[in-house]
Structure 1
Amino acid sequence: MTITEAPIPFVVDVPQSELDDLARRVRDARLPEPLGADDWSTGVPISVLRSMATSWVDDFSWREVEKQLASFPQYVVEIDGQRIHYLHVRSSRADSTPVLLCHGWPGSYLEFLDLIPLLTEPDDVDLQAFDVIVPSVPGFAFSTPLSGDGWSIDRVAQAFVELMSCLGYGSYVVQGGDYGAGVAPAMGRLDPEHCDAIHVNGSIGAPFQEPDEEEQKRCTETELDRYRRVGEFMKSEFGYISIQSTRPQLIGAALTDSPIGQLSWMLDKFRAWTYPFDEEPDGALGRSRILAHVTLYWLTRSAGSAAHTVYAADGGAWGDPQAKPSQPVGAIMFAHDIGIRHLAEQEFDIVHWTEVPDHGGHFAAMEEPERLAADLRLFLSALPSGR
């Protein structure tokens, strides 16, 4: 891979005409009549969409998001012909450790805004500090438009390896959840000389087959419940994967022209994957944060390209099984997560595993940033000094 030009500073400054157009479309949106009881069993309730749309126009401010983003240094660079956008926040501490944070879908680099200061400038001087690099995955946010096909997990990981080299880091660690939990070990496999450790949340060791009798005896009640929830997911929630992995341009065309469509497509997962189960997502994430993510997808026209990278580029899955990366791997499983340690150990050198049975969900950096930061530090502190 080649970097064709040096990184250049980037500032998020959306033209007011774009925001005015979005507000007009939301105000003028045609909502369907509710189906049945208008609950979550058939999708996002129309009453919820109507309430969220009102908040989007009357209460939410993208300009406030831009002000927050202005406090984080952002850049763009071209790698392998693809524009890569990233945050790069250096710690004031001389002993800081570089960490690359990788997001998933339907997230973005906005996931990490609360986590970054906890890592770069910890209140306790005895806590490890970090330089934080947060790239937008190709096809997401300002890493758009996609330069072409073929953005598999390995190609994305290689681009991020090149980014870390471009920034001058001789060693680093990587952390990711969801799609990022696939990119993180791929970076380890591709860059064993420089990537020292891998930390993930959520999905490694996920069970995608029914447990046989022997496996049932081996599993804890929590692990059996994860088998059950994955089974239910495959029966009742898998539709979005089928669409995004086979028709990403179709979903892109639909959502890029309908802000309510974009809102409902993402809100469905923000509700399904946060904790506590079966509650409105506002409590776990906050309405403004949800609307910030939806607005980012809308403004960057990235519904189709994000789906293409995450779900279609590897043929509808996240690639075939790979060799174990050489690095030690740490994992944290929050209440909504689905990983099982003995399954994860078949693919990774698991040296650290934390269970959080009563807090947090899929969007760990937004739901539980303090716990996530603490677990990353705990994992790294137990590694040999050579790491």
Structure 2
Amino acid sequence: MTFDIQPFRVSVPESALVDLRRRLTGARWPEESPAGGWDQGIPLATVRELCRHWASGYRWRDAERRLNAIPQYLITVDGLPIHVLHARSSRPGAFPLILTHGWPGSVLEWAGMAPLLTGEFDVVIPSLPGYGFSGKPATAGWGVERIAAAWAQIMAGLGYQRYGAAGTDWGTSVSSVLGVLDARHVAGVHLVPPLAGPAPGSDPTDAELRSLADLEASSSAYSEVHRTVPQTIGYSLLDSPTGLCAWLAEKLITWGDGLTPDQILDQVTLYWLTGTGASAARLYAESIDLVSGWLSGARDDRVEIPVGASIFAGEVPRPSRRWAERRYPGIRYWATHDRGGHFPALEVPDLLAADLRAFFRTVA
């Protein structure tokens, strides 16, 4: 295996930020929805206020400094450069941990967790292919299985023979598959949350019924667009910062648990500056059918290595432990929390860090 690794530092040209502000101040706005509220999507006033702050108050350089506080690399795997943050612990022999984000998030979610984890772990945080500063796949086939295989190569190339994996959103799927593909080296995976559905023909409990109802009520329109026509939506996401802001902020707000405007705009700005609205969406075309099979319970695809799980109150889906144990028979740690949503690394980092430490101490 060839392994090419080059140091990397984020340095966005000032001209890109000037162009962004110009586009924001010259935006064309639609009328407000006659339905009012959120019934037909994110409200006009919400997006206008976010974009006003984006143009006049938000500071990208603060996010850039947070990234550059961690050593970063471009590691080429299968011809594709992968952006990787690598925060080593000062503790000799620290346990290695690879953390994977999802959509509409980025490595900026996990970067803030690094100081909470490096007391015990060497932390590796890659950007998914087509996301952030990673390369954009030019050919089909970069689904969660190929990404997991790339992660195994990265960890081997960094010299780690035994390691753990954790993730949110797409990161749960990548980490689960990694625990199968590289089971000889993956000591355990921690999932936020595990993706599992009811056994066919089983009678759900009241809590399971509420979880199913919440999943049914959550809008999947974005997912169907990403799955079927990521190229079509990509033109708007690449050319219009207000369009990108509305598309991402709708989910960052409705899935999140009180994210601040700056936390929302950190994610939106990274997608804008890297031009990854379309390339990130294509992961749905590659892998969402597989994920849907896991969520519905139609597939279990067992993961036999040790597993930990965190279930946050505002998350959708929220599988029960008995559902999860069909697919993950090796569950050793299960935590439920009365706060936090889909982005716990931003919302409740202390809770998530405590769960990661508690689970991986059982396998390290």
Scaled to the shorter chain, the TM-score interval is over 0.9
Specify which of 98, 101, 124 is matched with residue 100 of structure 1: 98
Are 1:345 and 2:325 counterparts? yes
How far is the alpha carbon of 1:199 from its aligned partner?
Answer: 0.4
- Choose the corresponding residue for 1:325, options 292, 303, 316: 303
Partner SS state of residue 314, structure 1? helix
Q: Which amino acid aligns with 1:154?
A: E
Cα displacement (A) at 1:322: 5.9
Aligned to 1:295: 269
Residues 263-305 of structure 1, C-alpha deviations (whole Å, 9 max, x = no match): 0001110111123xxxxxxxx2211111111011011111111
Q: Quick one: which amino acid aligns to residue 251 of structure 1? A: I
Cα deviation for residue 319 of structure 1 reads: 7.6
How does the TM-score come out when normalised to structure 2?
0.93
Whether contact under 8 Å (1:144, 1:300) holds in the other structure is no
Which ranges in structure 2 are unaligned for 5 or more consecutive residues? 294-298
Which of 220, 223, 229 lines up with 2:208 in the alignment? 223
Report the counterpart of residue 262 of structure 1 in structure 2: 244
- Give the C-alpha shift of residue 98 in structure 1: 0.3
Residue of structure 1 aligned with 2:167, choices 176, 189, 198: 176
- Residue 375 (1) aligns with residue 355 (2): yes
Report the 3-state secondary structure (helix = DSSP H, G, I; strand = E; otherwise coil) of the residue aligned with 2:155: helix
Distance 2:350 2:106 in 1: 19
Q: C-alpha distance in 1, partners of 2:229/2:302?
A: 32
Aligned length: 356
- After TM superposition, the structure 1 stretch with the greater mean CA deviation from structure 2, 170-179 or 196-205, is 196-205
TM-aligned CA deviation for residue 374 of structure 1: 0.6
DSSP-derived class of the 2:132 partner = coil
- Shift in Å, 1:138: 0.4
2:74 alignment partner, SS class? strand
Partner of 2:296: none
TM-score by length of 1: 0.88
| 1:122-161 matched pairs, under 5 angstroms | 129-161=120-152
**Percent sequence identity over aligned pairs:** 39
Q: Is the 8 A contact 2:344 2:352 kept in 1?
A: yes
Alpha carbons 1:87, 1:134 under 8 Å: kept: yes
Instruction: Specify the code of the residue in structure 2 equivalent to 1:257.
Output: D
Q: Quick one: distance in 2 between partners of 1:98 and 1:69?
A: 19
- Counterpart for residue 221 of structure 2: 239
- The answer on whether the counterparts of 1:38 and 1:47 sit within 8 Å (CA) in structure 2 is no
User: Deviation digits for residues 300-352 of structure 1, max 9, x if unmatched?
Assistant: 1111111112x111364438646422311110100022122111111112222
Q: What corresponds to 1:22 in structure 2?
A: 20
Which residue in the other structure is 1:360 paired with?
A: 340
Do the aligned partners of 2:111 and 2:125 also contact (CA within 8 Å) in 1? no
Within 5 A, what are the aligned runs for 1:84-123?
Answer: 84-121=82-119
How far apart are the structure 2 equivalents of 1:37 and 1:154? 42
Q: 1: CA distance between counterparts of 2:301 and 2:248?
A: 33
Deviations 1:138-171 (A, max 9, x none): 0100112223210111100000000000100011
5+ unaligned residues in a row in structure 1: which ranges?
122-128, 276-283
